[in-house]
Amino acid sequence: MKRLFMAALLICTAFLPMGAAEPPTAEHINATGAKYVHDWVWKVTDIIMYDGFSPCVISRNEILTNIAAYQAAQPGFAAKYASLGGQLPDLKEFPQPDQSKKYDWRVSMIQAYRGMIKKILYHSSLCDSLYDANIKEISAEYAGVSDGNAIIERSKNYGDEVIKFMTPWFKSDGHSKNQGRKRYNWPRGEQYWSPTPPAFAEPLDPYFSTMRPMSVADNRNELRPMPPIPFSKEKGSAFYDMVMQTYTTCKGLTDEQRDIALYWDDSPIKTWNAGHFVFNTRQISPGGHWINICKIACENAKFDMMESLRAYTLTSIGLYDGFLLCWEEKFRGHGIRPFTYINRYIDSTWEPLIQTPPFPEYTAGHATISAAAAEVLTQVFGPVKFTDNTEISFGFKPRTFSNFHEAAKEAAMSRVYGGIHFPRSVNEGNRVGTLIGNNVVNKLILLKKN
């Protein structure tokens, strides 16, 4: 009788469900989440290139997507990582998830990236296939988890909650107001900037400095560049000698200098004329280039999800504040470009190697934002050697640098080699950009002190 009872018990238990699988741990989520971060950062860059935004607006798009993603994952690792709520101007503390329940912070982060893309980028549907693939892959880890579907949906909902919370904040940053402003009336005169070939476009983003700042809200005056050298047409004057430095450098470019100028061109929209036809080509922006350098550094250092999100967030804020303060100076002085000055007073046949962008000369934008990003990256990763492969898809070979500041200085000098800036402008941009990057890391505390 006892044997019959045991046999019956074994038969019955064979048909009972196995013990429910355990959901992924926070450690697993953080360790495996970095690849999703990198995929989404590149997807943002890719869509931005397709949309054709200006470099300044691109920097805004990058900070919003990275802040959203960081904040969507931060509550899961709050013991180590701090919220940006209360640290950025007008940004209050974010709504908190129900910590008594489980979340997959990879899903929350992905949901936030996608949600912000849908809010601010035109061709947002280009991210849908990546989103579907990511969610499907992560959901497979919850096969057999009793409340797996609930965890995934709860995590999505928190990502959506972060976007809903951020929407009034970013809509009040000044961007919409700037889009509706009247046509900018720049000063006329021989000492001032004027539209340059081939498009003779009006100045780009003349009101960008009115946008809400991030880390420089209360000390932007301390980070202003030195005044520009006074305009002069007189031979032997400081201004004339500065112009001649650019002119003679460009007339005698080495192959290496030419390669550097083209490598760091990073013009998101170029205008070309072919007979009666005018067309544009697009490539990565200066800010996008440095965001990809951040990606390279994260992968080299084998950063996990939260380390990577912190690096991208701080770098993008450095880029944004760099553009903001640089554009403030550009539209304070309205400095003349080398193309205009050299054609008028030195050589009417001279042309720069790369296209002159449509805004004033002083200070150099690429120099400023490159130095800002380089300083952030140096403080996050240290002065590490790296190989930049950002431009491979645009036909350029990778370039190797001993550290981030070496790359930033090369990016700055590329503008002199390209014929679009004067040495004083790139040197001062590089100096101020370094101060801006240092300001970002010192004022925005994402990594909590032990």
Strands (E) across 283-430 are located at: 386-388, 399-401
User: Which pLDDT value is given to residue 274?
Assistant: 56
Please write the tens of the pLDDT for every residue from 202-211.
Answer: 999 999 999 9
3-state secondary structure of 223: helix
Per the model's pLDDT, the better-predicted residue between 1 and 35 turns out to be 35
Residues 335, 82: Cα–Cα separation, whole Å? 41
In a domain, 329, yes or no: yes
Q: Are residues 235 and 127 in the same domain?
A: no
Q: Are residues 207 and 142 in the same domain?
A: no
Residues 390, 228: Cα–Cα separation, whole Å? 33
In a domain, 67, yes or no: yes
Q: Are residues 263 and 310 in the same domain?
A: yes
Q: Where among 142, 173, 204 does a domain terminate?
A: 173
pTM of the model: 0.93
Residues 172, 195: Cα–Cα separation, whole Å? 31
Give residue 156's region: left, alpha or beta (phi > 0; psi -120 to 50).
alpha
Residues 147, 373: Cα–Cα separation, whole Å? 42
Helices in 195-254 by DSSP H: which ranges? 238-251
Q: Are residues 416 and 268 in the same domain?
A: yes
What mean pLDDT is predicted for residues 53-65?
A: 97
Phi, psi (deg, nearest 5) at residue 272: -125, 145
Q: Are residues 35 and 110 in the same domain?
A: yes
Residues 312, 318: Cα–Cα separation, whole Å? 10
- At 290, which amino acid appears? W
Please write the tens of the pLDDT for every residue from 145-155.
Answer: 999 999 999 99
Range of the domain at 289: 184-443
Does residue 13 surpass a pLDDT of 90? Answer: no
Q: Where among 173, 201, 233 does a domain terminate?
A: 173
Among 237, 264, 258, residue whose Cα is nearest residue 357:
264
In a domain, 253, yes or no: yes
Domain of 158, CATH number, reads 1.10.606.20
Greatest alpha-carbon span in the chain: 116
If pLDDT is split at 50, 70 and 90, which confidence band does 393 have?
confident
Does residue 8 surpass a pLDDT of 50? Answer: no
CA angle 271, 174, 56 (to 5 degrees): 30
Per the model's pLDDT, the better-predicted residue between 403 and 279 turns out to be 403
If pLDDT is split at 50, 70 and 90, which confidence band does 221 have?
very high
Does residue 33 surpass a pLDDT of 50? Answer: yes
- At 116, which amino acid appears? M
In a domain, 224, yes or no: yes
Residues 166, 118: Cα–Cα separation, whole Å? 13
In a domain, 14, yes or no: no
Does residue 12 surpass a pLDDT of 60? Answer: no
Q: Which of 3-12, 54-63, 180-189, 438-447 has the lowest mean pLDDT?
A: 3-12
Please write the tens of the pLDDT for every residue from 109-146.
Answer: 999 999 999 999 999 999 999 999 999 999 999 999 99
User: Which pLDDT value is given to residue 394?
Assistant: 87
What mean pLDDT is predicted for residues 156-175?
A: 98
Does residue 15 surpass a pLDDT of 50? Answer: no
In a domain, 178, yes or no: no
Domain count, the chain: 2
Share of residues in the chain with pLDDT > 70 (%): 92
Does residue 245 surpass a pLDDT of 70? Answer: yes
If pLDDT is split at 50, 70 and 90, which confidence band does 11 have?
very low
Q: Are residues 153 and 288 in the same domain?
A: no
User: Which pLDDT value is given to residue 67?
Assistant: 98
Q: Where among 173, 206, 225 does a domain terminate?
A: 173
Q: Are residues 138 and 189 in the same domain?
A: no
In a domain, 3, yes or no: no
Strands (E) across 227-367 are located at: 269-274, 277-282
User: Which pLDDT value is given to residue 52?
Assistant: 87
3-state secondary structure of 301: helix
User: Which pLDDT value is given to residue 448?
Assistant: 93
Q: Are residues 274 and 395 in the same domain?
A: yes
Share of residues in the chain with pLDDT > 90 (%): 89
